[in-house]
Structure 1
Amino acid sequence: MKVSKRINKIRMRIMHQLTKNIGNSQKETMLSPGEKPTINRVLISRPNHRLGNQLLLTPLVQEVINTFPNCKIDLFVKGGVANLVFQNYEHVDTIIQLPRKPFNELIKYIKCWFKLKKYRYDLVINGDKNSSSGRLSTQIVNAPYKVFGETDEELEKMFDDYDHIAKYPVYHLRKYLNLLGSSESKNPIPTINIKLSDDEISKGKATLKEVVKNDKPTICIYTNATGDKIYDEDWWAIFYNRLKSDFPNYNIMELLPIENISKINFKAPNYYSKDVREMCGLLANTAIFIAPDNGVMHLASAAQIPVVGFFKVTKLEKYQPYGNKSIAFNTNETNLNDWLKGISNILG
C-alpha cells in the first residue's frame, strides 16, 4: 500500500473517533403549521473529491432550490470538480474547496475550515451521513437549523430507496423540515443533473456525429472501472457482440477513460475528452449509456439519458442509476439475456 493511502486510512480512523458522537439534527424554533423557515443562505457539506460523489450531490442541491427558491447555497467540498458539476447552478454562490491531499497543502486545508466561520448560515446540511468531515463541518458552522443526516430507521421502513446515497439526504431534509412544522414535500426525488446548456448539447450532437459518421441512434458503452468493479475482456467481448447482433439499427460507440484503454480492443468508434461537461454534452445525444458502477456512469445520468449500470461488488441499492428509465443489474444474480431484455425495453 502506498504511504499516502496509509496516511489517509489513519486520518479517516482518527476523524471517525473524533466525530462518532456528533450527529443530532438541531432546531432552535418551531414553526406554525404549513409555515416554512426563513432560509436565505444554506451550506451543504460533502468533502469528497470524486466526480461521482459530487454528481450524486446534485439532487440535494436541487431539492434545496425547489424548497427555498430565493436562497443562496455554499458548498463545502474537496478538490475542484464541483466547479464543473455546479457551473450552471445559479443558486450555488460559493464553493469552499478543501485540497485533495491535505497533508501536502496543510495551510490551505486549515484556512478552508476557518472559512466555514466566515458566514452565518440559516441552514446547514451534511450530505453524507457516513462522512466524519461532513459531521464535523456541520457541527462547527453557525446556523439555527442543522441536518446531520443520521441514519433514520423510520425513513428506512417508509422508503424502499432510502439507502441510495443521492436520495437519503433529501429524505432527511424533508423529515427535518416536517418536524419543524413545515408541510412535507411529496414530489419525486430530483434526478442527478449537471444542467447542460443548449450550446453544450448542440456541440455534443455535432461531436457525436463526427464519431459515428451517420444519423442512426447510438448506444454508448464504457468498459473501464476500478478495482474489483472491472469486467474482463472476455466478458465485454461476449456482451459487445450480442449488442451488435441484437441492435443492428443502432451505432455502438465506446467512451474511453483517461488511461486510453478498451476492453473491446477499440473495435467500436470511440471518443475521449478531458472536459467533463464536453463528455456529458455528447452523452446527452446518445440513446442509452451502459457501464459498470463508476463515476462516468453517474455522469451519464447527469446528462438525463437512460443508463444501464452493472454491479457485482458495490451495493446496487446505494449507487444505482435512477430516473430517465435507468436500470441496474447485479451481475452475480442475472445473466446476459436479462441485461439485453432490459436494454430492449428501454429502447422500445
Structure 2
Amino acid sequence: MKLLSKINPFRRVLTAAVFGNIGKNNIGPANGIMDPSQIKRVLISRPNHRLGNLLLITPLVQEVSQTFPNCTIDIFVKGNMAPIVFENYTNIGQIIKLPKKHFDELSAYLKGWVSLRKQKYDLAINVEQNSSSGRLSIKLANSKYKFFGGMNEEDQSKYDNYGHIAKQPVYNLRNYLAQFGIQSKDKIVPSLLIKLSQTELKAAKEKLDLLVPATKKTIGIFTFATGAKCYSVDWWAVFYERLLKQFPDYNILEILPVENVSQLGFKAPSFYSKDIREITAFFANTAIFIGADSGMMHLASAAQIPTLGLFSVTVVDKYKPYNPGSCAIQTNQTDLEDWMKTIHEVLKNN
C-alpha cells in the first residue's frame, strides 16, 4: 500500500475534526439586507475532482445565474475538468483549481487557497454541506455574504426530493436567500447541463452516422461502472439480447469507458472517446441512454436526453437522473419485463 493511501484516512479524520464545525451555525443572514442588483461577483466552492460531482453542480450554477443575472461566477474546484464542463457558460469568470494530488503539487495547492483572498466577492456559496474543505474555503473567501450550506431540518420538509445530491444545494441556497426576501424565479430545479455548440453536435452526429444506420434512432448503452455498481457480463448479455429482440427498429450502440472495456465483449457497435464534450454531444444525438449509476449517466443527463439509470447498490433518490423523460430502475426489485416496459414508455413519450 502506498504511503499516501495510508495517510489519507487519517488526514480526512483530522480535517473533519479541525474544520468540521466551520459555518455549522451560520445558516441564516449575517449582514442585514441583500440587494440582488448588487450581487455582481459570486464564488461557488466544490473542491472535488470527480466528473460526476462537477456535473451535479451545474443546476446550482444555473440557479445563481437566474437569480443574479448580472453576476460573474467563480468556481473553486479540484482537478482540470471544470473548464471543460463550463466551457460555454458565458458568465463564468475564474476557475480556481486545486491540483488533484495536492501532496505532489503542494505549491500549486497552497496557491489555490491563497487565491480565495485575492478576489472580492459579494456572495460565497459552499455546495456540499458535509465538506470540511468546502466550508473552510468559504470561511477564507473575501466575501460580504457567506453561505456555508445546509438547512434546518424543519425547512427541509418544504421541498420535494430534498435528498437529491444536485437538488439539495439549490434548495439550500433558495432557503438562505428567502431570509433576505429573495425568491427563486422558477420553482423547478434546473437539470444538469453541459452547453454544447451546434458545431459539436453536428460533428458528433457525423460520427454516429458512420457507426450505425442514420435511418434508425439509436439506443445508447453504457455497460461499465465502478465497484459493485458494475453489472456482470452475464447480466449484460441477457439484457443486450433482449434489447435487440424488443427494439428492432432502433440501433443498439455501446458507449465505451475510458478504460476501453466492454461487458458485452464488444459485440455491439461501439463509440470510444476521451473527450468529455465529444461524448456529451454524441449522447445528445441518441434517443436514450441506459446505464448504471456513474459519471457517464450524469453526463447523459447533462446532454439533456432521456436517461435511464440502473440502480442496485446506490441510493436512488440521491443520484437518479431527473431531467425530462428520465427515470431510475431498481434492478434488484424489478425484472427484465419491467425494464423493457419502462424503456418502451420512455421512447414512446420522447
CA, structure 1 residues 155+222, in 2 after alignment: closer, same or farther (shift >3 Å)? farther
Name 1:335's counterpart in structure 2: 335
Between stretches 178-187 and 207-216, larger displacement belongs to 178-187
1:324 shift after superposition: 2.1
CA, structure 1 residues 302+84, in 2 after alignment: closer, same or farther (shift >3 Å)? same
AA aligned opposite 1:181: G
1:200 shift after superposition: 0.7
C-alpha separation in 2, matches of 1:183 and 1:312: 37
Name 1:198's counterpart in structure 2: 198
What pairs with 1:177-256 in structure 2 (closer than 5 Å)?
177-256=177-256
The question of 1:16 aligning with 2:11 is answered no
8 A Cα contact 1:175 1:184, kept in partner: no
C-alpha separation in 2, matches of 1:176 and 1:201: 38
Name 2:56's counterpart in structure 1: 56
8 A Cα contact 1:209 1:215, kept in partner: no
Name 1:266's counterpart in structure 2: 266
Name 1:292's counterpart in structure 2: 292
Residue deviations 1:34-59, cap 9 Å, x none? x6362000000001101111011100
Name 2:94's counterpart in structure 1: 94
8 A Cα contact 2:37 2:68, kept in partner: no
1:119 shift after superposition: 1.1
C-alpha separation in 1, matches of 2:152 and 2:228: 30
8 A Cα contact 2:44 2:74, kept in partner: yes
C-alpha separation in 1, matches of 2:6 and 2:90: 39
Residue deviations 1:60-108, cap 9 Å, x none? 0000001111100000000000010000001111000000001111111
AA aligned opposite 1:172: N
Name 1:40's counterpart in structure 2: 40
Between stretches 327-336 and 18-27, larger displacement belongs to 18-27
Name 1:145's counterpart in structure 2: 145
* Alignment gaps of 5+ in structure 1: none
C-alpha separation in 2, matches of 1:315 and 1:10: 27
Alignment identity in percent?
52
1:29 shift after superposition: 3.4
C-alpha separation in 2, matches of 1:151 and 1:311: 28
8 A Cα contact 1:28 1:144, kept in partner: no
Name 1:124's counterpart in structure 2: 124
C-alpha separation in 2, matches of 1:284 and 1:200: 10
Please give the secondary structure, in 2, of the residue aligned with 1:4: helix
C-alpha separation in 2, matches of 1:7 and 1:341: 48
1:186 shift after superposition: 4.2
1:11 shift after superposition: 1.9
The question of 1:77 aligning with 2:89 is answered no
Please give the secondary structure, in 1, of the residue aligned with 2:282: helix
- Decide which of 26, 31, 38 is 1:29's aligned counterpart: 31
Aligned length: 346
The question of 1:7 aligning with 2:7 is answered yes
1:181 shift after superposition: 1.9
CA, structure 1 residues 311+151, in 2 after alignment: closer, same or farther (shift >3 Å)? farther
AA aligned opposite 1:117: R
Residue deviations 1:282-341, cap 9 Å, x none? 110000000101101111111100000011121111111111211011222222222211
1:25 shift after superposition: 2.8
Between stretches 246-255 and 310-319, larger displacement belongs to 310-319
CA, structure 1 residues 196+255, in 2 after alignment: closer, same or farther (shift >3 Å)? same
Please give the secondary structure, in 2, of the residue aligned with 1:168: helix
8 A Cα contact 1:31 1:37, kept in partner: no
Name 2:307's counterpart in structure 1: 307
Please give the secondary structure, in 2, of the residue aligned with 1:89: coil
8 A Cα contact 2:162 2:171, kept in partner: yes
C-alpha separation in 1, matches of 2:151 and 2:340: 36
AA aligned opposite 1:210: L
C-alpha separation in 1, matches of 2:221 and 2:208: 13
AA aligned opposite 1:193: L
1:147 shift after superposition: 1.5
Name 1:281's counterpart in structure 2: 281
AA aligned opposite 1:345: E
Please give the secondary structure, in 2, of the residue aligned with 1:158: coil
C-alpha separation in 2, matches of 1:28 and 1:342: 48
C-alpha separation in 2, matches of 1:26 and 1:39: 17
1:148 shift after superposition: 1.2
1:10 shift after superposition: 2.1
8 A Cα contact 1:155 1:171, kept in partner: no
1:140 shift after superposition: 1.3
Name 1:158's counterpart in structure 2: 158
AA aligned opposite 2:33: L
Between stretches 304-313 and 13-22, larger displacement belongs to 13-22
Please give the secondary structure, in 2, of the residue aligned with 1:8: helix
* Alignment gaps of 5+ in structure 2: none
After TM superposition, which residue ranges in structure 1, 4 or more long, deviate above 4 angstroms? none
1:151 shift after superposition: 4.3
